[in-house]
Structure 1
Amino acid sequence: MPVLNRPEGQTAEEFDVSRRGLAKGTLGGLFFAAYAPAALAQAAEPIVTDAVGLTVADVTYPAPDGFALPAYVARPEGSGPFPVVIVASEIFGVHAYIQDICRRLAKSGYVAIAPAFFVRAADPAPLSDMRQIQTIVAAAGYEQVMSDIAATLEWVSQQPWANADRVGITGFCWGGKVVWQAVARFAAIDAGVAWYGRLAPSPTATPEQIAAGAPWPVDLADDLKSPVIGLYGENDGGIPLASVDAMNAALQRAGARQSGITVYPGAQHGFHADYRQSYSAPDAADGWARLLALFDARLKA
């Protein structure tokens, strides 16, 4: 079975949907309730976190362009207020894995909210055609995504159960890059955890590709408003270790001593994604422990 070993996923030529089935959905509502078929491993046994003790909802709120932005929210039951974690998805959007991440965070005492950044164009979650998915994702440019995060910060600030003075962000693959960008953009974000998001353009990237991906995290080290930890795999097919070294060097030059990247030996892209073949349970558990340690220190103190 081929492995999704890059932040943008496989090419259509590498992808074979014939071996993938859909897992059972967890929760219905606005969002695709199963696991993205474009990445689901046939033998996967994903972690499923129940909603006992939680309040879970699909919501919408206005983005600056007037779009009614959908988001998946999971939070502890009770009046709170609870610290907030924004969850930036992979290229597959807010499917069952991202929803489960939100419930895991809620079980740890956070309001977790996953905005649906891609749905202005379409929902990529149920799709198998990687070219179609990539086209949808490409339509979500930097300014739109940052505006959606601004709308999310505004919405949570209006919720009595959310402590908008204590906000973190985490993201996976495509969303990992968003973490670096958002922490450089918003002073309201107190900590970030980036899971294997691109840090710099590919050495073979065209000028158009470089411009489309800007701003790149490697150029944002001086602008980070709070600590970011990166969690990356040694054998990531789309994120060479040279770019990780460049990012760590940029952080050191910027004096961002609380930020840095951990590289897991032998780990592939998507090592936290328990529905993919690339899943590495020990590395995923270690990364999650680091995430909770940072968020607990920065958002619960």
Structure 2
Amino acid sequence: MMTKNAKQKQPQLPAEAYQLYDKYAHGLMSRRAFFAGMSGLALNAALATTFINSMLPNYALAEQVSFNDPAITARYQTFPSPNGHGEGRGYLVQPKQAAGPLPVVLVIHENRGLNPYIEDVARRLAKAGFIAFAPDALWSLGGYPGNDDDGRTMQRSLDGEKIAADFTAAALWLKQLEAGSGKLGVVGFCFGGAMTGRLAAELPDTVNAAVPFYGSPPPADGIANIKAPMLVQLGELDERVNAMWPAAEILLQQHKVQYSIERYTNSHHGFHNDSTARYNEAMAELAWQKTLQFFNRHLLS
């Protein structure tokens, strides 16, 4: 495993450069428009290209828990998804020695399929004493293709409602998992953060705790249904996502949903992803410890 000092560092660029990349990475801006925007910041094409390359993941840096770790067992597992793509598949990780049933956590990836970073997040949860399951939204197309750019394109090509139905099916399947305790947490990142809130709203009797990382809020007309406590994890510098939350907070308070919002200093969208230069090690570690504490509090009782 790489040392923490080997993690990628954030390039010293203005915050506006990260905001431009965020729009580009989420399909809100073309590559040409991104370069034009970088030029407007007085950054030349060579630096813009270097910056894009620094954002590409290096998954050798992201492995905190080896798939060979003797404390866990990991395998790929299919599940039925009759309202989605018929069948889903994900990465199921369990502590090797567990005394009795364990709470289960559904891990939802970003907008590019089940990449090695998300698999490592599932292993981290298993090391912390949970059963973790990370589905791949791209399974109907053969699964994550091995690189994020192609994965992002593949995910955009799929029907969003069928993807949502696959994650709904995964949550319902996990709730009944034989080795599980019947308690279900959900954690997701970016697209997965938005899906986490959606599942909390659409499956109020299934989801027991929800931790969305830098995702858009649950649909406004579903917030009243939420029963699960929510821990919302946001990067201080993530202007696009952060702007969506004040209106949602009004509704969360109005409907007496138990929630808290944590904003992490000097952190961009994607700050928890330790495979790219957006990673903020100190804030990512703090957010992860808060996540584990939250799940322990709400899933073990």
Q: Is the shorter-chain TM-score for this pair beyond 0.5, marking a shared fold?
A: yes
Instruction: Name 1:236's counterpart in structure 2.
Output: 238
Shift of 1:298: 1.0
Instruction: Name 2:288's counterpart in structure 1.
Output: 288
Instruction: Name 2:224's counterpart in structure 1.
Output: 222
Could you tell me which of 186, 191, 201 is aligned with 1:174? 191
Could you tell me which of 96, 101, 105 is aligned with 2:125? 105
TM-score scaled by length of structure 2: 0.77
Give unmatched runs, 5+ long, in structure 2.
1-10, 12-16, 35-47
| Cα 1:135–1:19 shift into 2, 3 Å | closer
Shift of 1:122: 5.3
Give the partner amino acid of 1:188. T
Contact preservation (8 Å) 1:232, 1:262: yes
Q: 1:148-173 CA deviation, whole Å, 9 max, x = no partner?
A: 2343244335543222x210000000
Q: 1:214-255 CA deviation, whole Å, 9 max, x = no partner?
A: xx534432121211111011211532x332222222211111
Instruction: Name 1:56's counterpart in structure 2.
Output: 74
Instruction: Name 2:43's counterpart in structure 1.
Output: none
Q: Which has the larger radius of gyration?
A: 2
Instruction: Output the CA distance in 2 between the equivalents of 1:225 and 1:93.
Output: 28
| Cα 1:235–1:219 shift into 2, 3 Å | farther
Give the partner amino acid of 2:207. I
Shift of 1:88: 0.6
TM-score scaled by length of structure 1: 0.77
Give the partner amino acid of 1:254. H
Shift of 1:16: 4.9
Contact preservation (8 Å) 1:124, 1:136: no
Shift of 1:98: 0.4
Could you tell me which of 92, 96, 106 is aligned with 1:73? 92
| Cα 1:150–1:243 shift into 2, 3 Å | closer
Give the partner amino acid of 2:187. T
Give unmatched runs, 5+ long, in structure 1.
22-37, 200-215
| Cα 1:133–1:16 shift into 2, 3 Å | farther
Name the SS of the counterpart of 2:140 in structure 1: coil
Instruction: Name 1:46's counterpart in structure 2.
Output: 62
Contact preservation (8 Å) 2:216, 2:245: no
Instruction: Output the CA distance in 2 between the equivalents of 1:231 and 1:176.
Output: 9
| Cα 1:243–1:48 shift into 2, 3 Å | same
Shift of 1:89: 0.4
Q: 1:103-151 CA deviation, whole Å, 9 max, x = no partner?
A: 0000111110011123324545524646x72452352423x23432343
Instruction: Output the CA distance in 2 between the equivalents of 1:174 and 1:150.
Output: 15
Across the aligned residues of Structure 1 and Structure 2, the Cα RMSD in angstroms comes to 2.9
Instruction: Output the CA distance in 1 between the equivalents of 2:171 and 2:52.
Output: 40
Instruction: Name 1:24's counterpart in structure 2.
Output: none
Contact preservation (8 Å) 2:112, 2:154: no
Instruction: Output the CA distance in 2 between the equivalents of 1:77 and 1:242.
Output: 42
Name the SS of the counterpart of 1:120 in structure 2: helix
Shift of 1:287: 1.0
Instruction: Output the CA distance in 1 between the equivalents of 2:149 and 2:243.
Output: 31
Between the two proteins, the alignment pairs up a number of residues equal to 263
| Cα 1:136–1:48 shift into 2, 3 Å | same
Contact preservation (8 Å) 2:137, 2:166: yes
Instruction: Output the CA distance in 2 between the equivalents of 1:58 and 1:17.
Output: 35
Give the partner amino acid of 2:140. R
What is the identity percentage for the equivalent residue pairs of Structure 1 and Structure 2? 27
Contact preservation (8 Å) 1:45, 1:274: yes
| Cα 1:229–1:102 shift into 2, 3 Å | same
The structure carrying a bigger helix percent of its residues is 2
Q: 1:181-226 CA deviation, whole Å, 9 max, x = no partner?
A: 0011111110000000123xxxxxxxxxxxxxxxx53443212121
Name the SS of the counterpart of 1:249 in structure 2: helix
| Cα 1:220–1:124 shift into 2, 3 Å | same
Contact preservation (8 Å) 1:121, 1:136: no
Name the SS of the counterpart of 1:220 in structure 2: helix
Contact preservation (8 Å) 1:81, 1:161: yes
Instruction: Name 1:260's counterpart in structure 2.
Output: 260
| Cα 1:266–1:219 shift into 2, 3 Å | farther
Give the partner amino acid of 1:221. I
Q: 1:4-59 CA deviation, whole Å, 9 max, x = no partner?
A: 535726755148599759xxxxxxxxxxxxxxxx73169x8324212221110011
